[in-house]
Amino acid sequence: MPQVIKVKTGNKFEEHGSYSRVVAVDNMIFVSNTAGRNPATKLIPEDLTEQTNQVLDNLSSALKSVDAGLGDVVSARVFVQFPEDVETVMTAYGLRMRGINPTLTMTCPPLGSTQYKVEIDVVAIRGVSQAEVKELLISL
């Protein structure tokens, strides 16, 4: 029988939408789409780089709740509100995720509010950050 952990933050949307911030099934971890709201101040940075870094900080905290970290991320989906912001988000994301190199989907759908300029969800596998990695270069 697998071990399942569901993490809630107390956010009103989790209750309203009946979802968990994190669901860990054994070592596989799924983190819901996460915005850049600072949990201490409840504010969302206006600056896009700051907002992207806050999203990654929030994801890091969510992963930490189940004994994992950004280094364990194997797949990420980045949702950017405005197409003209993709380059800035990609740069900020790339600086934080350099060396981790998960799969990445970056797309520009409308988000729940124009205040949210970027949201990210991830899949992680606990312990991957400690694994030996073999990188292959292929031609597509």
pLDDT in tens, 107-134: 999 999 999 999 999 999 999 999 999 9
Report how far residue 60's alpha carbon sits from residue 67's, in angstroms, rounded to the nearest whole number.
10
CATH architecture of 4-130: 2-Layer Sandwich (3.30)
Q: Quick one: tokens of 24? A: 């860990």
Q: Are 22 and 65 in contact (CB under 8 A)?
A: yes
Q: What predicted TM-score, i.e. pTM, was given to this entire model?
A: 0.94
Is residue 11 over pLDDT 90?
A: no
Q: Are 66 and 7 in contact (CB under 8 A)?
A: yes
